[in-house]
Amino acid sequence: MANTAPKTDVLQGTLDLMVLRTLEALGPSHGYTVAGRIEQISNGAVQLNMGTLYPALMRLEQRGFIRGDWGVTENNRRARFYRLTAAGRRQLVAETAEWERMAAIMQSLLHQQS
């Protein structure tokens, strides 16, 4: 765990933000919808397999940002539906701001005139 921390940390943070934002946009949804939406928005660039997505969902749930409950999909399959909690909304606002700040910094760094 510890030796791969730096790389995963960045990815984790990004993934968490993606999931939170998607849940905000879609409302309560199950994992498959979330993954599909992210894939669709990214034009197929981000393909989440289950081994990445579900630990992330579990982590977010453990942190109290989302809540999952069993429900039934439109075509009658049982699935676990996740929705944002109040803490999740606050976290989303904070992380979005942080991400934009970081992106702005990177932007100016990469495109600075020499």
Binding site for another protein (CB under 8 A): 30-32, 35-36, 47-52, 54-55, 58-59, 62-64, 73, 75, 77-80
Quick one: 102 or 107, whose CB is closer to another protein? 102
Work out how close the CB of 31 gets to another protein at its nearest, in angstroms, rounded to a whole number: 5
Residue with tokens 């676990």: 80
- Is the Cβ–Cβ distance between 17 and 92 less than 8 Å? yes
Work out how close the CB of 107 gets to another protein at its nearest, in angstroms, rounded to a whole number: 25
Work out how close the CB of 69 gets to another protein at its nearest, in angstroms, rounded to a whole number: 11
Work out how close the CB of 43 gets to another protein at its nearest, in angstroms, rounded to a whole number: 16
In sequence order, what are the beta bridge partners of 71?
79
Helices (H), the chain: 5-26, 31-41, 50-62, 86-110
In sequence order, what are the beta bridge partners of 29?
82
- Is the Cβ–Cβ distance between 34 and 46 less than 8 Å? no
Quick one: 21 or 29, whose CB is closer to another protein? 29
- Is the Cβ–Cβ distance between 82 and 31 less than 8 Å? yes
Quick one: 21 or 35, whose CB is closer to another protein? 35
Quick one: 8 or 107, whose CB is closer to another protein? 8
